[in-house]
Structure 1
Amino acid sequence: MLHTLLVLSLCSWLFGVFGDEVKSVSVMEGENVTLHTDVTELHTDDEMYWRFKNILIARIKRSLNINPTYYNNNETEIFRDRLKMDNQTGDLIITHITSHHSGRYTLKIRRNNTVSNKRFNVTVYARLPVPIITRDSSQCSSSSSSSCCCVLCSVVNVSHDVSVSWYKGKSLLSSISVSDLNIRLSLPLEVEYQDTNTYRCVVNNPITNHTQHLHITQLCHTSADSPPMWVIIIPVALVIIIIISVYIHKRKCHKGLVQTSEVPQTDEEASIDSSSTSDGEAVRFLNRPAASLNMFYAKHKKKRPEIYTQMTTD
Protein backbone atom coordinates (compact mmCIF):
# COMPACT_ATOMS: atom_id res chain seq x y z
CA MET A 1 0.00 0.00 0.00
CA LEU A 2 2.77 2.41 0.91
CA HIS A 3 4.57 1.53 -2.29
CA THR A 4 1.46 2.36 -4.33
CA LEU A 5 1.11 5.76 -2.66
CA LEU A 6 4.73 6.59 -3.36
CA VAL A 7 4.32 5.69 -7.02
CA LEU A 8 1.19 7.79 -7.34
CA SER A 9 2.87 10.74 -5.64
CA LEU A 10 5.88 10.48 -7.92
CA CYS A 11 3.68 10.30 -11.02
CA SER A 12 1.72 13.32 -9.83
CA TRP A 13 4.92 15.28 -9.28
CA LEU A 14 6.32 14.29 -12.66
CA PHE A 15 3.07 15.28 -14.35
CA GLY A 16 3.18 18.64 -12.60
CA VAL A 17 6.73 19.31 -13.73
CA PHE A 18 6.82 17.80 -17.21
CA GLY A 19 3.25 17.10 -18.22
CA ASP A 20 1.82 20.66 -18.29
CA GLU A 21 0.45 21.87 -21.59
CA VAL A 22 2.56 24.47 -23.38
CA LYS A 23 0.55 27.52 -24.44
CA SER A 24 1.62 29.13 -27.67
CA VAL A 25 1.46 32.91 -27.81
CA SER A 26 2.07 34.89 -31.02
CA VAL A 27 2.55 38.64 -31.05
CA MET A 28 3.71 41.39 -33.40
CA GLU A 29 6.95 43.21 -32.65
CA GLY A 30 6.38 46.41 -30.68
CA GLU A 31 3.14 45.27 -29.05
CA ASN A 32 2.42 44.29 -25.44
CA VAL A 33 1.74 40.69 -24.43
CA THR A 34 0.25 39.26 -21.24
CA LEU A 35 0.99 35.75 -19.95
CA HIS A 36 -1.95 34.69 -17.79
CA THR A 37 -1.63 32.59 -14.63
CA ASP A 38 -5.35 31.71 -14.50
CA VAL A 39 -5.29 32.68 -10.82
CA THR A 40 -8.09 35.02 -9.75
CA GLU A 41 -6.45 36.25 -6.54
CA LEU A 42 -3.21 35.62 -4.69
CA HIS A 43 -3.39 34.40 -1.08
CA THR A 44 -1.17 35.41 1.80
CA ASP A 45 1.31 32.57 1.50
CA ASP A 46 1.29 32.24 -2.30
CA GLU A 47 4.49 32.41 -4.28
CA MET A 48 4.99 32.86 -8.03
CA TYR A 49 8.23 32.69 -10.03
CA TRP A 50 8.55 33.71 -13.69
CA ARG A 51 11.50 32.42 -15.71
CA PHE A 52 12.68 33.00 -19.25
CA LYS A 53 14.80 30.15 -20.60
CA ASN A 54 15.39 29.03 -16.97
CA ILE A 55 16.51 32.56 -15.96
CA LEU A 56 14.55 34.07 -13.07
CA ILE A 57 13.12 37.41 -14.21
CA ALA A 58 10.29 38.20 -11.74
CA ARG A 59 8.57 36.85 -8.62
CA ILE A 60 5.91 37.52 -5.99
CA LYS A 61 6.33 36.15 -2.46
CA ARG A 62 3.41 37.39 -0.38
CA SER A 63 4.93 36.31 2.92
CA LEU A 64 7.78 38.78 2.36
CA ASN A 65 6.36 41.56 0.20
CA ILE A 66 3.07 42.32 -1.49
CA ASN A 67 4.83 43.90 -4.45
CA PRO A 68 6.62 41.90 -7.15
CA THR A 69 10.40 41.74 -7.48
CA TYR A 70 12.16 42.14 -10.83
CA TYR A 71 15.66 40.85 -11.43
CA ASN A 72 18.09 43.12 -13.26
CA ASN A 73 21.41 41.64 -14.34
CA ASN A 74 23.32 40.86 -17.49
CA GLU A 75 21.11 37.91 -18.28
CA THR A 76 17.87 39.89 -17.88
CA GLU A 77 19.04 43.12 -19.51
CA ILE A 78 16.67 42.63 -22.46
CA PHE A 79 13.74 42.98 -20.03
CA ARG A 80 14.84 46.25 -18.44
CA ASP A 81 11.78 48.53 -17.95
CA ARG A 82 9.62 46.10 -19.92
CA LEU A 83 8.18 43.79 -17.23
CA LYS A 84 5.10 44.29 -15.09
CA MET A 85 3.65 41.64 -12.76
CA ASP A 86 0.04 41.98 -11.63
CA ASN A 87 -0.25 42.19 -7.81
CA GLN A 88 -3.59 40.38 -7.70
CA THR A 89 -3.21 37.60 -10.26
CA GLY A 90 0.54 37.33 -10.93
CA ASP A 91 0.04 37.79 -14.69
CA LEU A 92 3.25 38.82 -16.46
CA ILE A 93 3.06 41.72 -18.92
CA ILE A 94 5.89 42.33 -21.40
CA THR A 95 5.73 45.77 -23.02
CA HIS A 96 7.16 46.80 -26.40
CA ILE A 97 8.19 43.24 -27.09
CA THR A 98 10.96 42.47 -29.61
CA SER A 99 12.26 39.38 -31.35
CA HIS A 100 14.79 38.98 -28.51
CA HIS A 101 11.92 38.07 -26.21
CA SER A 102 10.86 35.04 -28.24
CA GLY A 103 11.24 31.77 -26.39
CA ARG A 104 10.03 29.61 -23.51
CA TYR A 105 8.55 31.20 -20.35
CA THR A 106 7.92 29.11 -17.22
CA LEU A 107 5.66 29.94 -14.27
CA LYS A 108 6.02 28.16 -10.94
CA ILE A 109 3.19 28.54 -8.40
CA ARG A 110 3.40 27.49 -4.75
CA ARG A 111 0.05 27.42 -2.98
CA ASN A 112 -1.14 25.42 0.05
CA ASN A 113 2.04 23.32 0.05
CA THR A 114 1.48 22.30 -3.57
CA VAL A 115 3.49 23.25 -6.65
CA SER A 116 2.09 23.76 -10.15
CA ASN A 117 3.81 24.85 -13.35
CA LYS A 118 2.74 26.57 -16.53
CA ARG A 119 4.74 26.97 -19.71
CA PHE A 120 4.38 29.45 -22.54
CA ASN A 121 6.05 29.47 -25.93
CA VAL A 122 6.16 33.09 -27.14
CA THR A 123 6.82 33.87 -30.82
CA VAL A 124 7.43 37.46 -31.87
CA TYR A 125 6.90 38.34 -35.54
CA ALA A 126 8.40 41.32 -37.30
CA ARG A 127 6.01 43.78 -38.91
CA LEU A 128 5.11 42.85 -42.45
CA PRO A 129 6.21 45.00 -45.37
CA VAL A 130 3.64 46.14 -47.92
CA PRO A 131 3.88 44.10 -51.16
CA ILE A 132 4.87 45.96 -54.33
CA ILE A 133 3.48 44.99 -57.75
CA THR A 134 5.53 45.87 -60.84
CA ARG A 135 5.45 44.92 -64.50
CA ASP A 136 8.23 42.53 -65.51
CA SER A 137 8.26 41.42 -69.14
CA SER A 138 11.19 39.09 -68.49
CA GLN A 139 8.78 36.74 -66.72
CA CYS A 140 6.70 36.27 -69.90
CA SER A 141 7.19 33.41 -72.30
CA SER A 142 7.97 34.37 -75.91
CA SER A 143 4.74 32.83 -77.17
CA SER A 144 2.49 34.86 -74.86
CA SER A 145 4.37 38.18 -74.63
CA SER A 146 2.18 39.83 -77.28
CA SER A 147 -1.16 38.96 -75.66
CA CYS A 148 -0.33 38.82 -71.96
CA CYS A 149 1.03 41.08 -69.26
CA CYS A 150 3.54 39.73 -66.76
CA VAL A 151 3.71 41.26 -63.29
CA LEU A 152 5.79 40.59 -60.19
CA CYS A 153 4.73 40.88 -56.55
CA SER A 154 7.71 41.49 -54.25
CA VAL A 155 8.45 42.04 -50.57
CA VAL A 156 11.82 42.72 -48.95
CA ASN A 157 13.33 42.17 -45.49
CA VAL A 158 10.80 39.53 -44.54
CA SER A 159 11.14 37.46 -41.37
CA HIS A 160 10.45 33.81 -40.71
CA ASP A 161 7.11 32.15 -41.55
CA VAL A 162 6.20 34.72 -44.20
CA SER A 163 4.45 33.77 -47.43
CA VAL A 164 3.48 35.65 -50.62
CA SER A 165 0.41 34.55 -52.57
CA TRP A 166 -1.55 35.50 -55.69
CA TYR A 167 -5.35 35.28 -55.58
CA LYS A 168 -7.88 35.45 -58.40
CA GLY A 169 -11.00 36.53 -56.60
CA LYS A 170 -11.10 34.14 -53.66
CA SER A 171 -9.15 31.37 -55.40
CA LEU A 172 -5.48 30.81 -54.60
CA LEU A 173 -3.35 30.77 -57.76
CA SER A 174 0.21 30.43 -56.41
CA SER A 175 2.19 30.87 -53.23
CA ILE A 176 5.77 30.99 -51.96
CA SER A 177 7.10 31.02 -48.42
CA VAL A 178 10.41 31.38 -46.59
CA SER A 179 11.84 30.36 -43.25
CA ASP A 180 14.96 32.53 -43.38
CA LEU A 181 15.34 36.13 -42.24
CA ASN A 182 15.88 39.37 -44.16
CA ILE A 183 15.51 38.11 -47.70
CA ARG A 184 13.46 39.12 -50.74
CA LEU A 185 10.40 37.21 -51.90
CA SER A 186 9.03 37.60 -55.43
CA LEU A 187 6.13 35.82 -57.11
CA PRO A 188 5.26 36.32 -60.82
CA LEU A 189 1.82 36.34 -62.43
CA GLU A 190 0.75 36.33 -66.08
CA VAL A 191 -2.58 37.88 -67.06
CA GLU A 192 -4.23 38.83 -70.35
CA TYR A 193 -4.48 42.49 -71.29
CA GLN A 194 -8.26 42.37 -71.50
CA ASP A 195 -8.73 40.33 -68.32
CA THR A 196 -11.48 41.79 -66.11
CA ASN A 197 -11.00 39.50 -63.11
CA THR A 198 -9.86 40.75 -59.73
CA TYR A 199 -6.29 39.86 -58.73
CA ARG A 200 -4.55 40.57 -55.44
CA CYS A 201 -1.19 39.83 -53.89
CA VAL A 202 -1.17 38.91 -50.20
CA VAL A 203 1.82 38.76 -47.86
CA ASN A 204 1.11 37.16 -44.50
CA ASN A 205 2.48 35.48 -41.41
CA PRO A 206 0.49 33.44 -38.85
CA ILE A 207 -1.09 36.50 -37.21
CA THR A 208 -1.48 39.25 -39.82
CA ASN A 209 -1.38 40.07 -43.54
CA HIS A 210 -1.10 42.89 -46.10
CA THR A 211 -2.92 42.97 -49.44
CA GLN A 212 -2.11 44.80 -52.68
CA HIS A 213 -4.59 44.78 -55.58
CA LEU A 214 -3.52 44.51 -59.21
CA HIS A 215 -4.89 47.22 -61.54
CA ILE A 216 -4.42 45.74 -65.00
CA THR A 217 -5.57 48.85 -66.90
CA GLN A 218 -3.01 51.00 -65.11
CA LEU A 219 -0.03 48.66 -64.94
CA CYS A 220 -0.46 46.82 -68.24
CA HIS A 221 -0.80 48.46 -71.64
CA THR A 222 -1.48 46.98 -75.05
CA SER A 223 0.94 47.41 -77.94
CA ALA A 224 -1.32 50.12 -79.37
CA ASP A 225 -1.09 52.09 -76.16
CA SER A 226 2.66 51.64 -75.89
CA PRO A 227 4.31 52.22 -79.29
CA PRO A 228 7.95 51.26 -79.84
CA MET A 229 10.49 53.78 -78.68
CA TRP A 230 11.73 54.51 -82.22
CA VAL A 231 8.27 55.79 -83.17
CA ILE A 232 8.71 58.51 -80.54
CA ILE A 233 12.44 59.14 -80.87
CA ILE A 234 12.64 59.66 -84.65
CA PRO A 235 10.03 62.47 -84.93
CA VAL A 236 11.53 64.23 -81.93
CA ALA A 237 15.02 64.01 -83.47
CA LEU A 238 13.74 65.39 -86.82
CA VAL A 239 12.10 68.35 -85.10
CA ILE A 240 15.33 69.11 -83.24
CA ILE A 241 17.37 68.94 -86.47
CA ILE A 242 14.95 71.29 -88.26
CA ILE A 243 15.07 73.81 -85.42
CA ILE A 244 18.88 73.76 -85.37
CA SER A 245 19.06 74.14 -89.18
CA VAL A 246 16.69 77.13 -89.17
CA TYR A 247 18.68 78.74 -86.38
CA ILE A 248 22.02 78.29 -88.23
CA HIS A 249 20.52 79.66 -91.47
CA LYS A 250 19.21 82.77 -89.72
CA ARG A 251 22.57 83.32 -88.06
CA LYS A 252 24.34 83.19 -91.41
CA CYS A 253 21.88 85.63 -93.06
CA HIS A 254 22.16 88.06 -90.17
CA LYS A 255 25.96 87.93 -90.32
CA GLY A 256 25.96 88.63 -94.07
CA LEU A 257 23.75 91.69 -93.66
CA VAL A 258 26.00 93.06 -90.94
CA GLN A 259 29.11 92.64 -93.09
CA THR A 260 27.46 94.32 -96.06
CA SER A 261 26.37 97.34 -94.04
CA GLU A 262 29.88 97.75 -92.68
CA VAL A 263 31.64 98.05 -96.11
CA PRO A 264 33.65 101.32 -95.91
CA GLN A 265 32.65 104.12 -98.22
CA THR A 266 35.18 104.80 -101.01
CA ASP A 267 36.35 108.20 -102.13
CA GLU A 268 34.32 107.86 -105.30
CA GLU A 269 31.11 107.11 -103.30
CA ALA A 270 31.81 110.11 -101.12
CA SER A 271 32.27 112.35 -104.14
CA ILE A 272 28.99 111.12 -105.61
CA ASP A 273 27.21 111.85 -102.30
CA SER A 274 28.31 115.51 -102.49
CA SER A 275 26.13 118.03 -104.22
CA SER A 276 28.90 118.81 -106.70
CA THR A 277 29.02 115.25 -108.12
CA SER A 278 28.67 115.37 -111.89
CA ASP A 279 26.63 112.99 -113.99
CA GLY A 280 29.76 111.75 -115.73
CA GLU A 281 31.44 110.76 -112.49
CA ALA A 282 28.38 108.77 -111.42
CA VAL A 283 28.35 106.95 -114.73
CA ARG A 284 32.01 106.00 -114.32
CA PHE A 285 31.09 104.39 -110.96
CA LEU A 286 29.32 101.66 -112.90
CA ASN A 287 32.73 100.10 -113.55
CA ARG A 288 32.81 98.88 -109.89
CA PRO A 289 31.99 95.27 -108.97
CA ALA A 290 28.35 94.12 -108.78
CA ALA A 291 28.26 94.09 -104.94
CA SER A 292 29.27 97.76 -104.82
CA LEU A 293 26.70 98.63 -107.50
CA ASN A 294 23.91 96.99 -105.57
CA MET A 295 24.86 98.94 -102.50
CA PHE A 296 25.10 102.10 -104.56
CA TYR A 297 21.64 101.62 -106.11
CA ALA A 298 20.00 101.12 -102.76
CA LYS A 299 21.75 104.05 -101.18
CA HIS A 300 21.39 106.71 -103.90
CA LYS A 301 18.06 105.82 -105.50
CA LYS A 302 16.19 108.42 -103.47
CA LYS A 303 18.93 111.05 -103.40
CA ARG A 304 19.71 111.19 -107.16
CA PRO A 305 16.88 109.58 -109.13
CA GLU A 306 18.20 111.00 -112.37
CA ILE A 307 21.49 109.11 -111.93
CA TYR A 308 19.67 105.90 -111.03
CA THR A 309 17.55 106.22 -114.18
CA GLN A 310 20.60 106.76 -116.40
CA MET A 311 22.44 103.80 -114.81
CA THR A 312 19.56 101.40 -115.31
CA THR A 313 18.96 102.46 -118.92
CA ASP A 314 22.62 102.03 -119.82
Structure 2
Amino acid sequence: MKTISLLFIISLFINGVFGDEVKSVSVMEGDSLTLHTNITKIPRDGVILWRFGLQNSLIARINEVAKDISIYDDVLDGRFRDRLQVNDQTGDLTITNITTNHTGLYQIIISGKQISHRFNVTVYALPVPVISSYCPQNSSSNCLLLCSVLNVRDVSLSWYKGNSLLSIISVSDLNIRLSLPLEVEYQDNNTYRCVLNNLITKQTQHLNITHLCQMCSDCVCCCHVSEAVIRLVVSALVGVATVAVLVYDITSSRTKLKKRSQTPSDRH
Protein backbone atom coordinates (compact mmCIF):
# COMPACT_ATOMS: atom_id res chain seq x y z
CA MET A 1 0.00 0.00 0.00
CA LYS A 2 2.88 2.35 0.84
CA THR A 3 4.51 1.49 -2.50
CA ILE A 4 1.31 2.39 -4.36
CA SER A 5 1.06 5.71 -2.52
CA LEU A 6 4.67 6.50 -3.30
CA LEU A 7 4.18 5.69 -6.97
CA PHE A 8 1.07 7.89 -7.00
CA ILE A 9 2.96 10.87 -5.59
CA ILE A 10 5.80 10.33 -8.08
CA SER A 11 3.28 10.26 -10.93
CA LEU A 12 1.84 13.56 -9.72
CA PHE A 13 5.23 15.21 -10.14
CA ILE A 14 5.83 13.58 -13.51
CA ASN A 15 2.41 14.57 -14.88
CA GLY A 16 2.74 18.14 -13.70
CA VAL A 17 0.10 18.31 -10.96
CA PHE A 18 2.87 19.73 -8.80
CA GLY A 19 4.64 20.55 -12.05
CA ASP A 20 6.72 23.46 -13.21
CA GLU A 21 4.07 25.07 -15.40
CA VAL A 22 3.64 28.71 -14.45
CA LYS A 23 0.75 30.86 -15.63
CA SER A 24 1.78 34.40 -16.58
CA VAL A 25 -0.58 37.17 -15.52
CA SER A 26 -0.30 40.88 -16.37
CA VAL A 27 -2.21 43.67 -14.66
CA MET A 28 -2.12 47.46 -14.44
CA GLU A 29 -1.18 49.22 -11.22
CA GLY A 30 -4.26 50.25 -9.26
CA ASP A 31 -6.45 47.41 -10.58
CA SER A 32 -7.72 44.38 -8.66
CA LEU A 33 -6.38 40.94 -9.53
CA THR A 34 -8.00 37.58 -8.67
CA LEU A 35 -5.95 34.38 -8.81
CA HIS A 36 -8.21 31.36 -9.23
CA THR A 37 -7.87 27.93 -7.66
CA ASN A 38 -9.96 26.32 -10.42
CA ILE A 39 -12.09 24.49 -7.89
CA THR A 40 -15.77 25.08 -7.11
CA LYS A 41 -15.68 23.95 -3.49
CA ILE A 42 -12.92 23.60 -0.91
CA PRO A 43 -12.61 19.93 0.21
CA ARG A 44 -13.99 19.22 3.67
CA ASP A 45 -10.60 18.12 4.94
CA GLY A 46 -8.74 20.59 2.73
CA VAL A 47 -6.12 23.16 3.67
CA ILE A 48 -5.26 25.89 1.17
CA LEU A 49 -2.01 27.82 1.36
CA TRP A 50 -1.23 30.93 -0.67
CA ARG A 51 2.47 31.81 -0.85
CA PHE A 52 4.38 34.67 -2.49
CA GLY A 53 7.87 35.44 -3.70
CA LEU A 54 11.21 33.67 -3.81
CA GLN A 55 11.11 33.32 -0.02
CA ASN A 56 7.81 31.46 -0.32
CA SER A 57 6.19 33.72 2.28
CA LEU A 58 2.78 32.57 3.53
CA ILE A 59 0.17 35.29 2.84
CA ALA A 60 -3.12 33.40 3.30
CA ARG A 61 -4.31 30.10 4.79
CA ILE A 62 -7.70 28.37 4.71
CA ASN A 63 -8.36 25.46 7.04
CA GLU A 64 -11.70 23.98 6.04
CA VAL A 65 -11.70 21.52 8.96
CA ALA A 66 -11.38 24.31 11.52
CA LYS A 67 -13.46 26.71 9.40
CA ASP A 68 -10.64 29.20 9.74
CA ILE A 69 -9.30 31.77 7.26
CA SER A 70 -6.05 33.52 8.13
CA ILE A 71 -4.55 36.40 6.14
CA TYR A 72 -0.92 37.30 6.81
CA ASP A 73 -0.82 40.73 5.21
CA ASP A 74 1.88 42.13 7.52
CA VAL A 75 4.64 40.02 5.99
CA LEU A 76 7.25 41.54 3.65
CA ASP A 77 7.09 45.00 5.23
CA GLY A 78 3.30 45.07 5.05
CA ARG A 79 3.08 45.40 1.27
CA PHE A 80 -0.17 43.35 1.28
CA ARG A 81 -1.77 45.16 4.20
CA ASP A 82 -5.53 45.71 3.67
CA ARG A 83 -5.25 44.40 0.10
CA LEU A 84 -5.91 40.65 0.36
CA GLN A 85 -9.28 38.92 0.14
CA VAL A 86 -9.96 35.17 0.09
CA ASN A 87 -13.12 33.49 -1.23
CA ASP A 88 -14.33 31.09 1.48
CA GLN A 89 -15.97 28.79 -1.10
CA THR A 90 -13.31 28.46 -3.79
CA GLY A 91 -10.18 29.76 -2.08
CA ASP A 92 -9.57 32.34 -4.83
CA LEU A 93 -7.17 35.10 -3.80
CA THR A 94 -7.90 38.73 -4.70
CA ILE A 95 -5.34 41.56 -4.44
CA THR A 96 -6.98 45.00 -4.47
CA ASN A 97 -5.33 48.27 -5.53
CA ILE A 98 -2.30 46.30 -6.73
CA THR A 99 1.11 47.97 -7.08
CA THR A 100 4.44 47.11 -8.68
CA ASN A 101 5.58 45.82 -5.26
CA HIS A 102 3.20 42.90 -5.79
CA THR A 103 5.00 41.69 -8.92
CA GLY A 104 6.31 38.17 -8.42
CA LEU A 105 5.54 34.48 -8.11
CA TYR A 106 2.36 33.31 -6.34
CA GLN A 107 1.73 29.68 -5.45
CA ILE A 108 -1.38 27.93 -4.17
CA ILE A 109 -1.26 24.50 -2.55
CA ILE A 110 -4.52 22.59 -1.95
CA SER A 111 -3.69 19.69 0.32
CA GLY A 112 -7.01 17.85 0.13
CA LYS A 113 -6.79 17.54 -3.66
CA GLN A 114 -2.98 17.37 -3.93
CA ILE A 115 -3.02 20.34 -6.30
CA SER A 116 -0.51 23.14 -6.74
CA HIS A 117 -0.71 26.12 -9.09
CA ARG A 118 1.80 28.91 -9.71
CA PHE A 119 1.23 32.38 -11.15
CA ASN A 120 3.91 34.76 -12.36
CA VAL A 121 2.29 38.17 -11.87
CA THR A 122 3.64 41.31 -13.53
CA VAL A 123 2.23 44.68 -12.47
CA TYR A 124 2.73 47.53 -14.92
CA ALA A 125 2.75 51.20 -13.97
CA LEU A 126 2.22 53.31 -17.08
CA PRO A 127 2.71 57.09 -16.71
CA VAL A 128 1.29 59.73 -19.03
CA PRO A 129 4.03 60.94 -21.42
CA VAL A 130 5.18 64.55 -21.15
CA ILE A 131 5.63 66.81 -24.20
CA SER A 132 8.03 69.75 -24.01
CA SER A 133 9.85 72.06 -26.41
CA TYR A 134 13.63 72.01 -26.48
CA CYS A 135 16.39 74.10 -28.04
CA PRO A 136 19.42 72.46 -29.63
CA GLN A 137 22.36 74.70 -30.47
CA ASN A 138 21.64 74.57 -34.19
CA SER A 139 17.97 75.43 -33.89
CA SER A 140 15.91 75.44 -37.07
CA SER A 141 13.01 77.68 -37.93
CA ASN A 142 10.55 74.92 -36.94
CA CYS A 143 9.26 73.99 -33.51
CA LEU A 144 11.29 71.21 -31.89
CA LEU A 145 9.47 68.95 -29.43
CA LEU A 146 10.36 66.07 -27.15
CA CYS A 147 7.99 63.43 -25.76
CA SER A 148 9.41 61.74 -22.64
CA VAL A 149 8.62 59.22 -19.91
CA LEU A 150 10.59 58.11 -16.85
CA ASN A 151 11.29 54.68 -15.35
CA VAL A 152 9.40 52.43 -17.75
CA ARG A 153 10.05 48.97 -19.16
CA ASP A 154 8.53 46.78 -21.87
CA VAL A 155 6.93 49.78 -23.60
CA SER A 156 6.94 51.63 -26.91
CA LEU A 157 6.75 55.41 -27.35
CA SER A 158 5.23 56.76 -30.57
CA TRP A 159 4.40 60.03 -32.34
CA TYR A 160 1.21 60.13 -34.41
CA LYS A 161 0.02 62.72 -36.92
CA GLY A 162 -3.72 62.13 -37.00
CA ASN A 163 -3.92 58.34 -37.35
CA SER A 164 -0.57 58.01 -39.13
CA LEU A 165 2.45 56.70 -37.25
CA LEU A 166 5.42 59.07 -37.62
CA SER A 167 8.06 57.47 -35.38
CA ILE A 168 8.43 54.86 -32.65
CA ILE A 169 10.99 53.76 -30.07
CA SER A 170 10.87 50.74 -27.75
CA VAL A 171 12.60 49.63 -24.57
CA SER A 172 12.61 46.26 -22.81
CA ASP A 173 14.69 46.82 -19.68
CA LEU A 174 14.08 49.49 -17.07
CA ASN A 175 15.15 52.83 -18.49
CA ILE A 176 15.77 56.05 -16.59
CA ARG A 177 14.38 58.20 -19.41
CA LEU A 178 12.79 57.36 -22.77
CA SER A 179 12.43 60.25 -25.24
CA LEU A 180 11.28 60.72 -28.82
CA PRO A 181 11.75 64.00 -30.77
CA LEU A 182 9.40 65.65 -33.26
CA GLU A 183 9.76 68.70 -35.51
CA VAL A 184 6.70 70.64 -36.70
CA GLU A 185 6.01 74.01 -38.29
CA TYR A 186 4.82 76.84 -36.05
CA GLN A 187 1.60 77.31 -38.00
CA ASP A 188 0.87 73.58 -38.37
CA ASN A 189 -2.86 72.87 -37.98
CA ASN A 190 -2.57 69.07 -37.88
CA THR A 191 -3.26 67.07 -34.73
CA TYR A 192 -0.35 65.30 -33.08
CA ARG A 193 -0.26 62.92 -30.15
CA CYS A 194 2.38 61.01 -28.24
CA VAL A 195 1.39 57.48 -27.19
CA LEU A 196 2.99 55.19 -24.61
CA ASN A 197 2.04 51.50 -25.08
CA ASN A 198 2.62 48.30 -23.17
CA LEU A 199 1.10 44.81 -23.43
CA ILE A 200 -2.06 45.83 -21.58
CA THR A 201 -2.96 49.44 -22.22
CA LYS A 202 -1.71 52.83 -23.39
CA GLN A 203 -1.39 56.43 -22.25
CA THR A 204 -1.86 59.33 -24.68
CA GLN A 205 -0.73 62.94 -24.54
CA HIS A 206 -2.05 65.35 -27.19
CA LEU A 207 0.14 68.14 -28.52
CA ASN A 208 -0.98 71.74 -28.05
CA ILE A 209 1.04 73.49 -30.74
CA THR A 210 -0.22 76.96 -29.80
CA HIS A 211 0.91 76.51 -26.21
CA LEU A 212 4.31 74.89 -26.80
CA CYS A 213 5.30 76.29 -30.20
CA GLN A 214 5.77 80.06 -30.39
CA MET A 215 7.82 82.18 -32.76
CA CYS A 216 11.30 83.12 -31.65
CA SER A 217 10.41 86.72 -30.78
CA ASP A 218 7.90 85.49 -28.21
CA CYS A 219 9.46 82.17 -27.25
CA VAL A 220 11.47 82.08 -24.06
CA CYS A 221 13.15 78.91 -25.22
CA CYS A 222 14.39 80.21 -28.56
CA CYS A 223 15.52 83.56 -27.19
CA HIS A 224 16.79 81.86 -24.10
CA VAL A 225 19.76 83.23 -22.18
CA SER A 226 20.84 80.83 -19.54
CA GLU A 227 20.96 81.76 -15.89
CA ALA A 228 24.69 81.22 -15.87
CA VAL A 229 25.15 83.73 -18.68
CA ILE A 230 22.97 86.27 -16.90
CA ARG A 231 24.99 85.88 -13.73
CA LEU A 232 28.22 86.28 -15.71
CA VAL A 233 26.98 89.52 -17.29
CA VAL A 234 25.83 90.90 -13.95
CA SER A 235 29.14 89.96 -12.35
CA ALA A 236 31.03 91.69 -15.16
CA LEU A 237 28.97 94.86 -14.77
CA VAL A 238 29.53 94.86 -11.02
CA GLY A 239 33.24 94.36 -11.60
CA VAL A 240 33.42 97.27 -14.04
CA ALA A 241 31.53 99.49 -11.62
CA THR A 242 33.86 98.51 -8.78
CA VAL A 243 36.94 99.30 -10.85
CA ALA A 244 35.46 102.64 -11.84
CA VAL A 245 34.83 103.53 -8.19
CA LEU A 246 38.39 102.55 -7.23
CA VAL A 247 39.87 104.58 -10.06
CA TYR A 248 37.78 107.57 -9.02
CA ASP A 249 38.88 107.23 -5.37
CA ILE A 250 42.54 106.91 -6.32
CA THR A 251 42.36 109.92 -8.65
CA SER A 252 40.58 112.00 -6.02
CA SER A 253 43.14 111.05 -3.35
CA ARG A 254 46.05 111.99 -5.59
CA THR A 255 44.46 115.33 -6.41
CA LYS A 256 43.96 116.14 -2.74
CA LEU A 257 47.56 115.20 -1.86
CA LYS A 258 48.86 117.32 -4.68
CA LYS A 259 46.89 120.32 -3.49
CA ARG A 260 48.15 119.87 0.10
CA SER A 261 51.79 119.62 -1.04
CA GLN A 262 51.43 122.81 -3.03
CA THR A 263 49.90 124.89 -0.22
CA PRO A 264 53.12 125.90 1.71
CA SER A 265 54.90 127.17 -1.38
CA ASP A 266 51.91 129.26 -2.26
CA ARG A 267 52.10 130.98 1.15
CA HIS A 268 55.77 132.04 0.57
> Is TM-score (shorter-chain normalized) higher than 0.5?
yes
Q: Pairwise mapping of residues 237-252 of structure 1 onto structure 2 (< 5 A)?
A: none
1:189 corresponds in structure 2 to 182
Partners of 1:52 and 1:10 in 2: how far apart? 25
- Structure number with greater Rg is 1
2:62 to 39, 60, 63: 60
Give the Å deviation of 1:181: 4.9
The one-letter amino acid of 2:51's match is R
1:172 to 149, 165, 169: 165
Change (3 A) 1:217 1:30: closer
Give the Å deviation of 1:76: 7.0
Give the Å deviation of 1:182: 7.2
1:220 to 201, 213, 223: 213
Give the Å deviation of 1:45: 2.0
1:249-298 CA distances to partner (integer Å, 9 max, x unpaired)? xxxxxxxxxxxxxxxxxxxxxxxxxxxxxxxxxxxxxxxxxxxxxxxxxx
1:107 corresponds in structure 2 to 108
Bigger relative CO (Cα 8 Å, ≥ 6 apart): 2
Q: What is the aligned residue count?
A: 216
**Mapped contact 1:130–1:212 kept (Cα < 8 A):** yes
Partners of 1:135 and 1:68 in 2: how far apart? 56
1:214-253 CA distances to partner (integer Å, 9 max, x unpaired)? 2335433457987x97xxxxxxxxxxxxxxxxxxxxxxxx
Give the Å deviation of 1:173: 2.1
Partners of 2:20 and 2:207 in 1: how far apart? 50
Matched, 1:93 2:80: no
Q: TM-score, normalising length from structure 1?
A: 0.58
Unaligned runs of 5+ in 1: 230-314
Partners of 2:152 and 2:85 in 1: how far apart? 28
Unaligned runs of 5+ in 2: 224-268
**Mapped contact 2:57–2:75 kept (Cα < 8 A):** no
2:146 to 152, 161, 168: 152
Q: Which has the higher helix share?
A: 1
2:119 corresponds in structure 1 to 120
**Mapped contact 2:195–2:203 kept (Cα < 8 A):** yes
CA-based RMSD: 3.4
Identity rate of aligned residues, in percent? 54
Q: Pairwise mapping of residues 32-51 of structure 1 onto structure 2 (< 5 A)?
A: 32-51=32-51
Partners of 1:223 and 1:80 in 2: how far apart? 54
1:294 corresponds in structure 2 to none
Change (3 A) 1:168 1:7: farther
Change (3 A) 1:122 1:90: same
The one-letter amino acid of 1:116's match is I
Give the Å deviation of 1:192: 3.3
Change (3 A) 1:222 1:119: same
Q: TM-score, normalising length from structure 2?
A: 0.66
2:194 corresponds in structure 1 to 201
